[in-house]
Amino acid sequence: MSLPFRIDPTLVNALRGANFVTALTGAGISAESGIATFRDASEGLWARFDPRELATPSAFARNPKRVWDWYAWRRERVAEAQPNAGHLALAALERRAREFVLVTQNVYGLHQRAGSRNVVELHGNIARVKCSRDGTLVERWEANEDEVPRCPDCGAFLRPDVVWFDEMLAEDALAAADKAARRCDVLLVVGTSAEVYPAAALPDSARASGAVVVEVNPNATALSAAADHVLRGAAGVVLPALLSSLD
Ligand code: APR
């Protein structure tokens, strides 16, 4: 069901005249690739799993195998998924824009598979695995049904290279995201509930720097009231329409 959304001509002009466009994406842009979001009550990932039991350092310390297996399961789901029309539209927008940065909270690498090049992964990427002791990335590991693979150098458990609750984001990623928010003329906020900081602060930074802020989401969020334009629809429908409106 496609919701009624209208692309205001002032938004089209703002995008056409933009020297710098930034997109901030959340789990919602992968929904049409068949990957569940986190907080959508019906089928969200958190509906079936308790994040405190899976995506925190203490959960990993308590039960590393359960956490490792959950991410292995999610890696399999992602491998089966394909980028959708929303991912592809953002990659096409990047090719049209004078300058374009895609800041994502997602950890699945679907933007890169869709052709996006300038991607800032705020919360890491589950395809990457690192030593849980010193964070060294590890290219290969022995998959083992019975126990969590260990770092070949120090023997500590391996873990996914993602940012868990209670963990700090990588400073370089956060700095790049904040710079992209402050320099852009238009910020497209796509498929995020805008509840998790510091990502949720980026639209404020963009607006404070004079950017036009656009929300693309079938549902209202904490950001909706402050957005200059709200395109109430699915990313896979709205973003291609937004791209076409520029022709
Ligand atoms: N197109 C666009 N948006 C959609 C679609 C769609 N087809 N389907 C759902 N959405 C919207 C939902 O309305 C919701 O606002 O996507 C948003 C998903 O919100 P969350 O599930 O909270 O995901 P996200 O905002 O990315 O969560 C932020 O929190 O759980 C942590 O680290 C995790 O990166 C994640 C962060």
Q: How does pLDDT run across 17-47, given as a tens digit for each residue?
A: 999 999 999 999 999 999 888 776 556 666 6
The answer to whether the CB of 103 falls within 8 A of the CB of 122 is yes
What spatial distance separates the first Cα and last Cα of the chain, rounded to whole Å?
A: 25
What backbone phi and psi angles, to 5 degrees, belong to 21?
-120, 135
Nearest-5° angle of CA 133, CA 178, CA 75?
45
Residue identified by tokens 């933009």 is: 18
The structure's pTM equals 0.94
Beta bridge partners, 130, equal 137, 159
The answer to whether the CB of 216 falls within 8 A of the CB of 189 is yes
Task: Report the pLDDT averaged over residues 135-146.
Answer: 88
Q: Taking Cα atoms as reference points, which of 224, 229, 196 lies closest to residue 211? A: 229
What residue ranges line ligand 1, CB within 6 angstroms?
26-29, 31-32, 37-40, 44, 105, 123, 191-193, 195-196, 216-219, 221, 234-235
- Specify the long-range contacts of residues 134-140, CB closer than 8 Å, at least 24 apart: 137/161
84, 70, 162, 186: CA torsion to nearest 10: 30
| 123 is a catalytic site residue | yes
Share of the chain above pLDDT 90, in %: 81
Would you state the pLDDT for residue 41? 59
